[in-house]
Structure 1
Amino acid sequence: MIIWLNGTHGVGKTTTAALVQQLIADSRVFDAEKVGETLMDVYPGLPKTDNFQHWPPWRPLVVETARRILDYTGGTLVMPMTVLVEPYWREISQGLASYDIPVHHFVLHADQGTLRKRIQDDSVMGPSSFRFSYLSPYAEAFQSWLGKEAHVIDTTEFTPAQAASEVAKTVNIS
C-alpha cells in the first residue's frame, strides 16, 4: 500500500514521513520529488516550468516508480509529496489504482499563520520564497478539493510524532 502525505511546503510532510516509517513495519519512504529531480537533470530537453509536476512525464513516472518499488520490496511506501493540481492527483491515483495499489491519502494541514511561522523559522531550509509562494495555491486547493479528497490531519497543534501516530492509527497499523 501507499501512504501519501500531501499538504503544502513547510507543513512537516518529510519529518512526519520518517516517523511514520518507524511506526509501520516493512515500510520505506519514497519521495516522488526525486523523480522530478531526475527530470530536471534532463531539463534542456524539456519546456521551461516553475514546477516539474507540470511536465507530463512526471506523473506516470511517479506511478511506475512506486509500482516497481512495491513489486520489488513489498510492504508500504510512505510518500511525502505536495500535489495541489486536482487533475494531476487524479492521474496519479488512477494510475496506482490500475495496478491495484491501495492509497491512503492524507493532508497534513495547518492554518496560514502557523505555516508562515514554520517556513520563516525553518532551521534547515531557512525562510523560503518558494515555500511561501505555495501558501495561496495550497489554500485554494484545500478549499476546492483537497480537503474533501483526503483524510485531513490538522497539525497546527500537533507535533510531527502526533501526526505520524494519527496516520498509523488511521491505516490500522500501530
Structure 2
Amino acid sequence: MIVWLNGAHGVGKTTTGALLQELLANARVLDAEKVGETLMDITPGLPWTGNFQDWPPWRPLVVETARHVLDHTGGALVMPMTVLVEEYWREVSSGLAHHGIPVRHFVLHADLDTLRGRIEGDTALGPSSFRPRHLEPYADAARAWLHREAEVVDTTLLTPAEVAARIAEVVRCWEPL
C-alpha cells in the first residue's frame, strides 16, 4: 500500500514521512521528487515550466517506480509529495489503482501564516523562494479539489511526531478493499 502525504511545500511532509516510516511495519519512504530530479538530469532541453510534474513522463514513472519497489519489497511506501494539479493526481492515483495498489491519501494542512513561519524558520533548508510562491496555489487546490480527495490532518498545533502518530493509527486500522 501507499501512504501519500500531500500538502503545501513546508508543511512537514518529509519530516512526518520519516517518522511515519518508523511507526509502520515494513514501511519505506519513496520520495517522488527523486523521479523528477532524475528527469531533470537526463532530459535537458525539455521546456522548463518551473515544475517537473508538468513533464508527461513524471507521472507514469512515479507509478511504475512505486509498483516495482512494492513488487520487490512488499509492505508500505510512504510518499511525501506535493501534487496540486488535480489532473496529475488523477493520473498518478488511477495508475496505482490500475496495478491494484491501494493508496491512503493524506493532506497535511496548516494555515498560511503558520506555513510562512515554518518556511522562514526552516534551518535545514534555509531561505526558499520556491516554497512561498506555492502557498497560494496550495490554497487554491485545497479549496477546489484537494481537501475533498484526501484525509486532511491539520498540523497547525501539532508536532511532526503527533501528526505521524495520528496517521499511523488510521493506516493501521485501514483495510483496503
TM-score range, shorter chain: over 0.9
Note the alpha carbon deviations across 1:142-166, whole angstroms, 9 max, x for none.
Answer: 0110011100000000100000011
Q: Which amino acid aligns with 2:73?
A: T
Q: Is the 1:24–1:173 Cα contact (8 Å) retained in structure 2?
A: no
1:173: how far off?
5.5
Distance between the aligned counterparts of 2:138 and 2:40, measured in 1? Answer: 23
* Aligned residue-pair number: 174
Residue 123 of structure 2: aligned partner = 123
Note the alpha carbon deviations across 1:40-69, whole angstroms, 9 max, x for none.
Answer: 002324222200000000000000000000
Distance between the aligned counterparts of 2:48 and 2:165, measured in 1? Answer: 40
Distance between the aligned counterparts of 2:71 and 2:125, measured in 1? Answer: 34
| 2:148 is the alignment partner of 1:148 | yes
Note the alpha carbon deviations across 1:83-140, whole angstroms, 9 max, x for none.
Answer: 0000000000000000000000000000000000000000011121100000000000
Runs of 4+ in 1 over 2 A off after TM superposition: none
Distance between the aligned counterparts of 1:154 and 1:49, measured in 2? Answer: 30
Q: Which amino acid aligns with 2:148?
A: K
Percent identical residues: 67
* More divergent stretch after superposition (67-76 vs 125-134): 125-134
Note the alpha carbon deviations across 1:65-86, whole angstroms, 9 max, x for none.
Answer: 0000000000000000000000
| 2:64 is the alignment partner of 1:59 | no
> What TM-score comes out, normalization by structure 1 length?
0.98
Residue 88 of structure 2: aligned partner = 88
| 2:152 is the alignment partner of 1:163 | no
1:171: how far off?
1.1
Structure 2's unaligned 5+ residue stretches are none
Q: Which amino acid aligns with 1:127?
A: P
The 5-angstrom pairing of residues 1-174 of structure 1 reads 1-172=1-172
Structure 1's unaligned 5+ residue stretches are none
Distance between the aligned counterparts of 1:148 and 1:106, measured in 2? Answer: 11
Q: Which amino acid aligns with 1:152?
A: V
Q: Which amino acid aligns with 1:99?
A: H
Q: In angstroms, what is the RMSD of aligned CA positions? A: 1.1
Distance between the aligned counterparts of 2:70 and 2:94, measured in 1? Answer: 16
* More divergent stretch after superposition (137-146 vs 36-45): 36-45
